[in-house]
Amino acid sequence: MNSCSDKTVLICDDEPNIRESIRYAADKEGYQYKMVEDGLAAYETACADIPDLVVLDVGMPIMTGYEVCKKLRQHPEMEQTKILILTAFGQSEDKVKAFNVGATDFMTKPFSPRELRAKLNELLDE
């Protein structure tokens, strides 16, 4: 485990195994993390905690990742929050859509945990 950071990551994915693999990456890089299973929980938790990074799956129950991202961007305290969208839909129009709703970055599934860790550091280290 790397040195502890006070940066917080909110992990949102409805697939428990994928959630675990993201958690593993965040944990290994020493970030604080929280995990939720659906879009609504993601939004509510983000609004309460104001994390430094939100990792969002797209195809989630109740609210999709896009919807969550759009709503988070409207929150006054979350203009600077980094949002990483992770999706199994990997077409270029999906990326465009992600950036249109205010995502900071984009990764397609299946992803490499190494790459994800590098991405987490890139987004949180400035």
52 binds another protein (CB under 8 A): no
Nearer to another protein, 1 or 80 (CB): 1
DSSP letters, the chain, are: -------EEEEE-S-HHHHHHHHHHHHHTT-EEEEESSHHHHHHHHHHH--SEEEEESS-SSS-HHHHHHHHHHSGGGSS-EEEEEES--SHHHHHHHHHTT-SEEEESS--HHHHHHHHHHHHH-
Nearer to another protein, 67 or 81 (CB): 67
Q: Which of 2, 16, 49, 118 binds another protein (CB under 8 A)?
A: 16
77 binds another protein (CB under 8 A): no
23 binds another protein (CB under 8 A): no
User: Which parts of this chain interact with another protein (CB under 8 A)?
Assistant: 14-18, 20-21, 24, 28, 37-38, 59, 61-62, 88-91, 108-114
